[in-house]
A and B are shown apart, each in its own frame.
Chain A
Amino acid sequence: MSGNLQIGEDGRLRHFLSIEGLNRALLTEILDTAESFAGVTEQSIKKVPLLRGRTIVNLFFEASTRTRTTFELAAKRLSADVLNINVNASATVKGETLLDTLRNIEAMHVDMFVVRHADSGTAHFIARHAQPHVSIINAGDGRHAHPTQAMLDMFTIRREKGPDFGRLTVAIVGDIAHSRVARSQIHALNLLNVGELRVVAPRTLLPAHVESLGVRVFHDLREGLRDADVIIMLRLQRERMQGAMLPSEHEYYRLYGLTRERLAVARPDVTVMHPGPINRGVEMDSLVADGPQSVILEQVTYGIATRMAVMSMAMHPTPAQDNHG
């Protein structure tokens, strides 16, 4: 059902809600399209007129700077009009429902919603109830999915390692349980036929039956990083200490923090990634974060091209939409 929801009858992208339900050809098309936009973002005049006259609304129910900014830049570089709406979650609890909020903004004739919300399933819910000509892009829903982040990570890996994911060993380290980024990355890497996919964390930071997602589970960092081609570090939220999931940041860093010494067991040309923002000295040492293997800032740059790709594909001009737009 989510697959049908995301893909139109013509087989093209309609909404971008989760990696699950998509296929490898579509992921590759997104990466190829992003590649063509990467050129645009490197020019001095960084705009293409693809979405001129279209209106995109960034509807964020959860605080975000980085993701919202890159979506905004991506939309502007496609020449769309952009509206940023930050909805305080507590205001919606007391007053109008999510559906009311959606209907009100829809009435302003918008073409796309980029949605972030603390509840898993929100993007699916909105896609089910939005008007037929409106596209929904999931910018993060609860712990469920953050598919554009996963695609920019795939783009980064492809640029660093080439198109053959089958020969790569990728390790994702940290708080998998609460991470929508990790879930989307896992689905994307498996769809792209990654050679070996590992998760590394203590039991408290792994969700139930995590192996059912198609990963090998490691509790020891050294074991998990051995011969890895790509290491993805996840952000550790401070509240995990209060939830009795970890004793202290100190112990976490001692066991799971990425240092130069630990990096030595991975492949010499290993690529280190992080979706940001980084807690220096908690997930990783500054020497690694700023070191030669780190592509953390490239990830941010590629995020714009990847989001341009997804937005333009989901709003591909069709006759019906031309009438509307």
Chain B
Amino acid sequence: MADTKLHISGGHLLDPANGIDAPTDLYIADGRIVAVGTAPDGFTADRTLDAGGLHLIPGLVDLCARLREPGQEHKATIDSECRAAAARGITTLCCPPDTRPVIDTPAVVELIRHRATQVDAARVVTLGALTRGLDGEQLSEMAALKQAGCVGVSNALRPLASTRTQRRAFEYAATFDLTVFLYADDPALSDGGCLHEGALSTRLGLPGIPEAAETVAVARDLALIQQTGVRAHFCRLTTERAVRMVARARFDGLPVSADVAMPYLHLTELDASEFNPEFHLIPPLRTHRDREGLLTGLRDGTLGALCSDHQPHEPDAKLAPFPATEPGASGIDTLLPLTLKLAQDGALPLADAIARVTSGPAQILGLPYGELGVGRAADICILDTGAHWQVNRDSLLSQGRNTPFNGWEMPCQVRYTLRDGRIIFDSESS
């Protein structure tokens, strides 16, 4: 099927990276875009997809999706999540290294790649561990991990033992031109916390995580990035001040980028007011002002990517008193619709919103996806912006039904998803 010549006709193409927002046909051969607009000479389509009344956008690139395999298959599997992703228009998932076992050897990278290939849905790329077993002390074999296909290195949510280890890890990663993905957290300040430190944590008597847990870490990390020259990416910033610090560093020419996860753009700390564990997220939901700051950063490009921070859980993980529940929300189902909702709500222009889930994250990962120019992989999401659906336990496709958006109305349905020119999701045949 990969060598099928495909003509997608009558759709409205929205390809922010190439500045296209117009009715445009796409022509695909050998899994790649061979023409945009008019058919190349001698092109005879084996199949024509009628996209009349539908939008075409690049397949989404999700910068942070936990697939729970290997190690926690009771929460989700590569199979379940890659299929769910395809059905929601996502063609590339980036998996952080905190699987069990940790992604610190080429064998684990290979295992994940193999399982994802078997599914034939969204593709999976991996971040390698920055330290062995994520122990924060001993460097991982980063060169081998890169050779095995890792697109960057990260210590996931785990702290590094010291600033000296951090410095060495940055230097070593820079040697091999690897991007370091950072979770900005000072563990001594966030220790034991489960909610933003503020009026609500005070009222509920829940240990808080102060803003400084993030800003102290960003300041420290920026100093070491400057010292070592490593290319670095801040994952899931949550505070206005941290966004401003990163914006300043980018202005000063430091090789840094940053992203934000969807819940932090739609929700605030106040949403957790009734001990509802669906709002137990780490890092925590912050204030209204922080949410505004994140939206500003997303608009001006300081936050180049918007990710799901997908963390599927089994129901029991959320069946406990709030502090004892596992943090995190399932997010791949809502990534695309909530991105469109941001544009509908006027938070940022539609083209910019789409760019933050396509070309933006692809650029951060150094991957040639997220845009639909000639020669690019034909990763395409064909969607109906007139079809709505409601978030509830039954409508989610991920194995993890833990969502803070229960009851929300989603403004679009995916009609087809193509990856490398192959139809990996067709809403009428599923």
Interface string of B123-143 (1 = CB under 8 A from A): 000000000000000000000
Nearest CB on A from B309, distance (A): 23
List of B residues within 8 angstroms of A25 by Cβ: none
Query: What separation, in Å, do the CA atoms of A295 and B275 have in the docked complex?
Result: 35
CB pairs A–B below 8 angstroms (20 shown): A98-B324, A119-B321, A119-B322, A120-B321, A120-B322, A121-B206, A124-B275, A124-B321, A125-B322, A129-B319, A141-B205, A141-B321, A143-B206, A183-B203, A207-B208, A208-B199, A208-B210, A210-B202, A212-B202, A212-B203
Assess whether A98 is in contact with B316, with CB atoms less than 8 Å apart: no
A97-B202 contact given A1-B274, A125-B275, CB 8 Å threshold: no
CB closest residue in chain A, given B201:
A208
**Which residue of the partner chain, among A1, A119, A183, contacts B323 with CB atoms under 8 Å?**
A119
Interface: B20 (CB within 8 A): no
Q: Are B320 and A125 in contact (CB under 8 A)?
A: yes
The 8 closest A-B pairs by CB, nearest first: A144-B205, A143-B205, A121-B275, A207-B202, A119-B321, A122-B321, A212-B199, A209-B199
Q: Is B197 an interface residue (CB 8 A)?
A: yes
User: In the complex, what distance in Å separates the CA atom of A99 from the CA atom of B319?
Assistant: 8
Bits for A142-161, please: 1 = Cβ < 8 Å to B, else 0: 11110000000000000000
Quick check: is B107 within 8 A (CB to CB) of the other chain?
no
A20 contacts partner chain B, Cβ-Cβ < 8 Å: yes
Pairwise interchain contact A144-B204, C-beta atoms closer than 8 A = yes
B203 x A20 contact (CB < 8 A)? yes
Instruction: Report Cα–Cα, A141/B320, bound state, in Å.
Output: 13
Q: How far is the CB of A129 from chain B (nearest CB, A)?
A: 8
In the assembled complex, A213 has its CB within 8 A of some CB on chain B: yes
A2 at the interface (CB under 8 A from B): yes
A290 to B2, CA, bound (A): 87
Query: Is A198 in the interface zone, CB < 8 Å from B?
Result: no
Is A145 in contact with B201, judged by CB distance below 8 angstroms? no
Cβ-based interface call for A68 (8 A): no
Contact residues, A118-132 vs B (CB, 8 A): 119-122, 124-125, 129
B321 contacts A98, CB within 8 Å?
yes
Counting CB contacts under 8 A, is A15 at the interface? no
- Distance to closest chain A CB from B276 (angstroms): 8
Residues of A within 8 A of B (CB): 1-2, 20, 97-99, 117, 119-122, 124-125, 129, 141-145, 180, 183, 207-210, 212-213
Nearest CB of chain B from residue A91's CB, rounded to whole Å: 14
Interface hits, B281-329 → A, CB 8 Å:
316, 319-324
B198: interface (CB < 8 Å): yes
Given contacts A143-B206, A208-B198, 19 further A-B contacts (CB under 8 A): A1-B274, A2-B274, A97-B319, A98-B324, A120-B205, A120-B321, A120-B322, A121-B204, A121-B206, A121-B322, A121-B323, A122-B321, A124-B274, A125-B321, A143-B207, A180-B205, A207-B201, A209-B199, A210-B202
- Residues on B with C-beta less than 8 A from A125 are 275, 320-322
Min distance, Cβ A206 to any Cβ of chain B, angstroms:
9
- The answer to whether A209 touches B322 (Cβ under 8 A) is no
Residues of B near A120 (CB, < 8 A) are: 204-206, 275, 321-323
Cα-based distance from A120 to B194 in the complex (angstroms): 11
Instruction: List residues of B (153-208) whose CB comes within 8 Å of A's CBs.
Output: 197-199, 201-208
Chain B residues with a Cβ under 8 A of chain A? 197-199, 201-208, 210, 274-275, 316, 319-324
Residue on B with the closest CB to A120? B205
User: Closest CB of chain B to A6's CB: distance in Å?
Assistant: 12
Does B323 lie within 8 Å of A142, measured CB to CB? yes
Q: Give B276's nearest chain A residue, CB to CB.
A: A1
Nearest CB to that of A123 among chain B residues? B321
B205: chain A residues at CB < 8 Å are: 120, 141-145, 180, 183
Contact between B321 and A209, CB atoms less than 8 A apart: no
Contacts of A121 on B, CB cut-off 8 Å? 204, 206, 275, 321-323
* A174 shortest CB reach to chain B, Å: 16
Q: How far is the CB of B74 from chain A (nearest CB, A)?
A: 14
How many whole Å from A131's CB to the nearest CB in chain B? Answer: 16
CA distance A304 to B198 in the complex (A): 35
Residues of chain B within 8 A of A119, CB atoms compared: 320-324
For B319, the chain A residues whose CB sits under 8 A away are: 97, 99, 129
A184 to chain B, nearest CB (A): 10
Indicate the member of B197, B202, B206, B316 with the most A CB atoms within 10 Å.
B202
Q: Which residue of B lies closest to A125 (CB)?
A: B321
Chain A residue numbers with a CB within 8 Å of B210 are: 208
Bound Cα distance from A142 to B275, whole angstroms: 13
Instruction: Select from chain A the residue with minimum beta-carbon distance to B273.
Output: A1
Once bound together, how far apart are the Cα atoms of A124 and B206, in whole Å? 14
Kindly list chain B residues whose C-beta atoms are within 8 Å of the C-beta of A209.
198-199, 202
Return A239 CB to nearest CB of chain B, in Å.
13
Q: Which of B201, B206, B275 has the most CB of A within 10 A?
A: B275
In the bound assembly, the distance between CA atoms of A180 and B274 in angstroms comes to: 17
B242 CB to nearest A CB, Å: 18
Complex contacts, A2 vs chain B, CB 8 Å = 274
Q: Which of B320, B321, B324 has the most CB of A within 10 A?
A: B321
| Contact across chains for A213 and B202 when beta carbons are under 8 A apart | yes
Report yes or no: B206 in contact with A208, Cβ–Cβ below 8 A: no
User: Which chain B residues border A180 with CB–CB below 8 Å?
Assistant: 205
Please tell me which one of the listed residues B197, B198, B203, B320 contacts residue A97 in the complex, with CB atoms under 8 A apart: B320
Give the CA-CA distance A120 to B206 in the complex, in Å. 6
Question: Shortest beta-carbon distance, B363 to chain A, in Å?
Answer: 38
Shortest beta-carbon distance, B333 to chain A, in Å? 25
B324 CB contacts on chain A under 8 angstroms: 98, 119
> Which residues of B lie under 8 Å from residue A20 when comparing CB positions?
203
Contact of A117 among B197, B208, B321 (CB under 8 A): B321
Nearest-neighbour CB distance to chain A for B191, whole angstroms, equals 10
Indicate which residue in B197, B198, B206, B320 contacts A142 across the interface (CB closer than 8 Å): B206
**Closest residue of A by beta carbon distance from B207:** A143
A97 with B275: in contact, given A121-B323, A145-B205, A183-B205 (CB under 8 Å)? no
Q: Which residue of B lies closest to A21 (CB)?
A: B274
A251 to chain B, nearest CB (A): 23
